[in-house]
Amino acid sequence: MFELRECNEEEKRELLERGADSKSVKVLDYFGNDIFFYDIKEQSVAHHDCWVNYTGLRSERPKMLMDILHEQLVISDGSRILDLGCGLSEMGIEINRRFGNISYLGVDVNNNLLKINEANFKSHSGSYRFKNFDLATSQHDDISGNYDVVMAMGSADSFFKIFPYVSECLKPTYIVCESHVGRQYNLEEIISACKDYRLKKSEDYSFTSVNGPVDPSWIGYHRRVNILEKV
């Protein structure tokens, strides 16, 4: 589990046909499923892609988060989910592994990651969709629809700006925000921006990543997830 292999020629061709940059993409064994994975190391590229590596699919972070959300009855079969700043859709991949009849929209500023996501979900393209969206500059009403859950995993400075729109216009049953312990002010900003929501659950958890920093005390490995419920 979490082992990587090089893409074969057919897989490289598929990525290129979708417009993805295939040179840093490998195939990951994620709980027995082959997943395209954006494999970069210490040096980040635009839009913090290194976090996809360190806190994503080569760790148990997605599974741990879904364990929490399922235990709290936030996500189950049939959920309608909006994933803000979805990155490589590690949450979508874990959701798809565990639940059925899901409607999922992942939005992110990094178009290359979205192309990789489309390749990963090619057999579920009607249920799992992706959209290029900049949380800092895009018009909020470019996102519409009915959602049971809106989540922002890895919340950063730009995230909180959209949450007045999320809470007042989209009105999901649950809003989920998560980040490392050094960004608690970002989570507090999101909570304060969500009108008519109460804090249902706040939980800390820790993990390590196969190809992240060796030091288990690295701040990115120590996280908090907040679940807000509409009142």
Domain extent for 64: 59-230
User: What is the spatial order of strands in the sheet that 128-132 belongs to?
Assistant: 128-132, 103-108, 80-84, 149-153, 174-180, 222-230, 197-206
Residue 9 resides in a domain: no
What is the spatial distance between Cα 40 and Cα 51, in angstroms, rounded to a whole number?
10
What is the spatial distance between Cα 90 and Cα 57, in angstroms, rounded to a whole number?
6
Residue 19 resides in a domain: no
Would you say 29 and 1 are in contact if contact means Cβ atoms under 8 Å apart?
Answer: yes
Residue 2 resides in a domain: no
Residue 24 resides in a domain: no
Of residues 181, 204, 38, 174, the one with CA closest to residue 116: 38
- The pLDDT value recorded for residue 160 is 82
The C-alpha torsion from 72 through 73 and 75 to 79, rounded to 10°, is -160
Output the domain CATH number for residue 77: 3.40.50.150
Residue 10 resides in a domain: no
- The pLDDT value recorded for residue 42 is 54
Contacts of 120 (CB under 8 A, 6+ apart): 35, 36, 89, 93
What is the spatial distance between Cα 11 and Cα 24, in angstroms, rounded to a whole number?
13
Backbone angles phi, psi at 147, to 5 degrees: -130, 140
Please give the DSSP secondary-structure letter assigned to residue 109.
Answer: S
Residue 177 resides in a domain: yes
What is the spatial distance between Cα 174 and Cα 230, in angstroms, rounded to a whole number?
6
Q: How many domains does the chain have?
A: 1
Residue ranges in the chain modelled with pLDDT below 50: 43-47
- The pLDDT value recorded for residue 162 is 93
Residue 114 resides in a domain: yes
In this structure, the number of other CB atoms found within 10 A of the CB of residue 196 comes to 10
- The pLDDT value recorded for residue 173 is 98
Residue 184 resides in a domain: yes
Please give the DSSP secondary-structure letter assigned to residue 167.
Answer: I
Please give the DSSP secondary-structure letter assigned to residue 187.
Answer: H
Would you say 177 and 65 are in contact if contact means Cβ atoms under 8 Å apart?
Answer: no
Q: Residues of 90-122 as b/e, b for ≥16 C-beta within 10 angstroms? A: bbbbbbbebbeebbbbbbbbbebbbbbbbbbbe
Give bridge partners of residue 4 from the DSSP assignment.
28
Residue-level length of the chain:
231
Tell me the chain's radius of gyration from C-alpha atoms: 17
Give bridge partners of residue 202 from the DSSP assignment.
226
pTM over 0.85: yes
- The pLDDT value recorded for residue 44 is 46
